[in-house]
Amino acid sequence: MLKAVTSIKNKLISLKNLNSKISPDDYNIIKEGRAEILFPKEETVFYNPIQQFNRDLSVTCIKAWNNLYGPKAKNNRKTVIKPSHKRANEDSDSDDQTSIKHRKLEDGSVQVETFVHRKPYLKILEALSATGLRAIRYAKEIPNVKEIVANDLLPEAVESIRRNAQYNNVLDIVKPNQDDANVLMYRNKAQNKKYHIIDLDPYGTVTPFVDAAFQNIEDDGLMLVTCTDLSVLAGNGYPEKCFALYGGVNMISHEATHESALRLVLNLLGQTAAKYKKSIEPLLSLSIDFYVRVFIKVKTSPIKVKDLQSNTMITYHCSNCGSFANQPLGRKSEKVGKKSSKPYVKFAPASGPPVNEKCQFCDGTFHLAGPMYAGSLHNDEFVKEVLRINKEEHSKKKEFEGVYGTTKRIEGMVTLAAQELKDAPFYFSPNNVSSIIKLQVPPLKRIVAGLGSLGYQSSLSHAKHSCLKTNAPWEAIWYVMRESQKIDFPDIDMNKKLSKMNKNTAGYKILSKMNEWLPKEEDSIAKENKNADEKPKKDYGEIDYSRKNNSFDITKLSFEPNEQSNKVEGLRHLKMVRYQENPTKNWGPKARPNSS
Ligand SMILES: C[S@@+](CC[C@H](N)C(=O)[O-])C[C@H]1O[C@@H](n2cnc3c(N)ncnc32)[C@H](O)[C@@H]1O
Ligand SMILES: [Zn+2]
């Protein structure tokens, strides 16, 4: 949270090394992280205090990326064995200082351990910097930063970046620059200048800046991307604009629209990267308040680019009952050569569609969402490191006391993201499903236990409160929801209930036809026997996003707590802070200041 807004009164500030004097009444000092920003009282440059969470999280993510995949991550301690006549520092990196330990081995050779004390090496571009606050925080809070170019189109913003970089004593690291972000990035490309980290935090959509950014980032680099245009990415009113900007349509009027927003942004990034033989790996993808923020690793890899097709999907979602089915746009499978017996990967068009013309549950019409990214939203290793830094360093170490105001929220959000079920795009709201079939909303843990007893996994979603992600087919979801009523109302008479319902409603159609489409007991037994005889199918990288596997055994249903329900219930008891602590009045994406 904002630490202090101090009005400077009755004295002139003379900035170190700055010739000009600043009139005190013109500025507030805003303290955030380790930075102090001189902020003009009449707002001419963009600053939104609610975005402190975004900035705190970004600092933590850059540290995590650098620890795991940064240019020198795997290289901090080298052990080499040399013939005894060679000196240890002959091959050492001339930029860095090294300390060396020699140990003579029995065979006469010398084991040389080189401890490398790195000179700052990280190069960061903040392409849309406004006051410079973010760049200054990166300079003061992230180790090993060599250079941060803090760029903005507006002269007032660049003046503010310069003033603040100087005031914070980081002008040796933070380089203010006035340019259109794209002009800067394409010029960098021409000069072969690249950055390890590119942060894109625009007003609204990131789309205009993405192409240039992919041509300006180092291999294995980290790209941090914000989009605040959620009315387009997640709203109901602009499918055509969403398609034009992101190359796909969101899940209009569906509770999972915030996850589709993330998948659309990742689709835009993945498609753009592929043009340059690059692939993206989402490290952490969050839907937060009024914006989305994704952290991706970028790699030049023509082989990985081949996965783009099978990692892209469209989604059919019923406009009546909300059930959905995903359709990957391609297939990737491992085959074995007939003559050579060598395995090879085959890419093929997908087969489909996964649904009939009308919804099989309620006769409703399907809407089409996507194309969008179908793969995992987060990387386990990265998320673990983010949580570690947040807990062990930012929350506990004395040196960080009072620096990070949003550690609880980072813990809450990232812990939820970490437990999200993979390969199960989207979630459903038990509240909505219950209201469709006009039954009482069961507790989440009971639904999860029921699905778990049928062999399916479930998790919460960071993107929406009280919603469930699951790899269960919709047949199982409707079935569990109906049967769960019998716990609360053991004498419930479903036929009587149906007779009172309007026959044209989705709920009536779902409940009245359920016994027709539920798997039959004898089918389950036959399937079990067949599976036991069948050789396992060898699929490589092929994930069934479609939810077509609906042959569960209905007789196995139980609502007793199980591993799945205990896991979900454990998280709900953590009482984590998902939302911003003490948001100000009328918080949200801030408009451009008047003068811009
Ligand atoms: C949302 S603000 C950035 C906030 C900042 N990153 C932070 O954390 O406080 C967006 C900034 O982008 C700048 N901007 C808009 N279009 C631009 C362009 N084409 N090139 C460079 N800067 C641009 C605006 O002047 C504004 O200062
Ligand atoms: Zn339906």
Residue 453 Cβ contacting ligand 1 at under 6 Å:
no
Q: How far, in Å, is the centroid of ligand 2 from the Cα of 510? A: 8
Q: Say if residues 266 and 282 touch (Cβ distance below 8 Å).
A: yes
Residue 178 Cβ contacting ligand 1 at under 6 Å:
no
Residue 201 Cβ contacting ligand 1 at under 6 Å:
yes
Residue 22: in which H helix or E strand, if any? strand 21-22
The answer to whether the Cα torsion of 167, 171, 175, 177 is positive or negative is positive
Task: Kindly list the protein residues that place their beta carbon closer than 5 angstroms to ligand 2, a single-atom ion.
Answer: 318, 320-321, 359, 361-362, 364
Tell me, what amino acid is at 412?
G
Predicted complex ipTM: 0.98
Please tell me the predicted confidence (pLDDT) of residue 93.
46
**Domain coordinates of the chain in residue numbers?**
4-48, 77-117, 430-573
pLDDT tens digits in sequence order for the chain, 596 residues long: 333 333 333 223 334 434 455 565 678 888 999 999 998 777 666 777 778 999 999 999 999 999 999 987 755 544 444 444 444 444 444 456 666 777 777 777 777 766 666 689 999 999 999 999 999 999 999 999 999 999 999 999 999 999 999 999 999 999 999 999 999 999 999 999 999 999 999 999 999 999 999 999 999 999 999 999 999 999 999 999 999 999 999 999 999 999 999 999 999 999 999 999 999 999 999 999 889 999 999 999 999 999 999 999 999 999 999 999 999 999 998 888 888 888 889 999 998 899 999 999 999 999 999 999 999 999 999 999 999 999 999 999 999 999 999 999 999 999 999 999 998 999 999 999 999 999 999 999 999 999 999 999 999 999 998 999 999 999 999 999 999 999 999 888 989 999 999 999 999 999 999 999 999 876 665 555 555 555 444 333 345 555 555 679 999 999 999 999 999 988 876 655 655 454 454 445 556 665 43
Q: Say if residues 310 and 235 touch (Cβ distance below 8 Å).
A: no
Please tell me the predicted confidence (pLDDT) of residue 83.
46
Residue where the block lists tokens 């067949």:
530
Please tell me the predicted confidence (pLDDT) of residue 289.
84
Residue 596 Cβ contacting ligand 1 at under 6 Å:
yes
The answer to whether the Cα torsion of 65, 69, 71, 73 is positive or negative is positive
| Whole-angstrom distance, CA of residue 293 vs CA of residue 261 | 10
Residue 460: in which H helix or E strand, if any? strand 458-460
Q: Which of 443, 420, 408, 391 is nearest to 567 (CA)?
A: 420
Please tell me the predicted confidence (pLDDT) of residue 576.
58
